[in-house]
Amino acid sequence: MPITRTARTGHRPGRTTAALVAAALALLATLGPGQAAAAVPSASPGLARLLQRDADALRDAGVSGVSVRMRTPQGVRAVRSGVGDLRTGDPVPRDGYVRIGSTTKTYVATVLLQLVGEGRLSLDDTVERWLPGVVRGAGADGRRVTLRQLLQHTSGLPDYIQDVVPDLSPAGYRENRGTTHTSEQRIALALSHPPSFEPGTRWEYSNTNYVLAGLVIEAVTGRSWEQEVHARILRPLRLTHTFAPGDDPFLPRPHARNYQQFAPGGPMTDTTRAYLPFDGDADGSVISTATDTNAFLSALLGGRLLAPEQLAEMRRTVTVPDRPGEVPGTRDGLGLFWTPLSCGGGYWGHSGSSFGTVAWPAATADGRTAITVTVHSRPGDEATAARQIRGVTTLVDHALCAANPARRAG
């Protein structure tokens, strides 16, 4: 689900605990950027075999289960590897339901930009205009934060995530997973901390930005962000397997089981049930399938959801600071990241995660080719986590380069 480069608890843990948080919650924030991938071999095998090879490599890197679904002008390719249930050994379901986490943000940004296109608000409006008095505290001031800065993570507002993981352990997950928060409570948690920087002066991922964006949608339309996403995106595109579950923590069937290792060498804990403290708002609560996710990205980038002016705004990017292991040159738009490919150009997408799962959707600039990779376990040590994410980004890189040899991705 949510995403910050380094997720952290609000209890200011020591170095050891902080490292475990970074590993276990890695990508609970910005799973848009990834890690550098090797170029596709010149003598590339068939696309399906290529996908299967890289999915098997993820399995061999310790992921319990992997599913890949790719949509191209020539048709659909889908592969699986590993198992969908460690207890029974059942395979990963074909096109099962998954929590797509922070990919939710792309849906929310799309709705906000539709409202811009309708003249009902402006990206330069302040948060204060639509949510008077909501962003005040510890130095934060909604009169100085714009909607564009929310969508592009340049607001400086702190991330509430640090306050909703009080105990990073199997027992802590089970004890706290049913705790619910309103959007206002999440914002209040965030605003108990000072801003990270002056609005517009830097970039730093914060899930709080999109909780606020969800409230802005409600203030403008009189309906919840979930209702607007359904009416404006899901129903027109007939995405019947995509929805926001509210406080329902369970996945529909079929679905793989998800597993989180909370400490290096520790047991794999079944985390299929949602962790509602961060799985329940406009920053990362949507459930979908790979088929629906690919269809959404294809429609969005193909110009079916936004007018050209608003789609151009969405793809107007700022630099994301380079971090160890991430792809140099990654950039952030409004609810979409652009990530370079080893063969030239790049892809658009917004990945997401929760305890035990990562969903990584990506699409070419014209939307004609889209791929979603889902992994169903997360390790407890940083080195293994980095290796597995490298496997995901390598798979995406190989697939998009092989499917688009003329390199029209971006």
Structure tokens at 352: 């997401």
Neighbours of 225 (CB within 10 A): 26
Active site residue 102: yes
Burial per residue of 70-109, b for 16 or more beta-carbon CB atoms within 10 angstroms, e otherwise: bbbeeeebbbbbbbbbbeeeeebbebbbbbbbbbbbbbbb
Judge contact between 97 and 254, C-beta under 8 A: yes
Backbone phi, psi, residue 139, to 5°: 95, -10
Residue 129 makes CB contacts below 8 A (sequence gap 6+) with none
Structure tokens at 78: 């889908």
Crossing angle of helices 15-24/382-403, nearest 10°?
30
Helix residue spans in 131-265 (DSSP H): 147-151, 170-176, 183-190, 208-221, 225-229, 235-237
Judge contact between 38 and 12, C-beta under 8 A: no
Which residue in the list 64, 67, 102, 353 is annotated as catalytic?
102
Residue among 352, 111, 318 at smallest CA distance from 213: 111
DSSP per position, 336-373 = -EEEE-TTSSEEEE--EEETTEEEEEEE-TTSSSEEEE
Burial per residue of 268-299, b for 16 or more beta-carbon CB atoms within 10 angstroms, e otherwise: bbbbbbbbbbbbbbbbbbbbbbbbbbbbbbbb
Judge contact between 212 and 135, C-beta under 8 A: yes
Three-class SS state of 269: strand
Backbone phi, psi, residue 54, to 5°: -75, -30
Strand (E) positions, 18-173?
65-72, 75-82, 98-99, 136-137, 140-141
Q: Which residues are catalytic?
A: 102
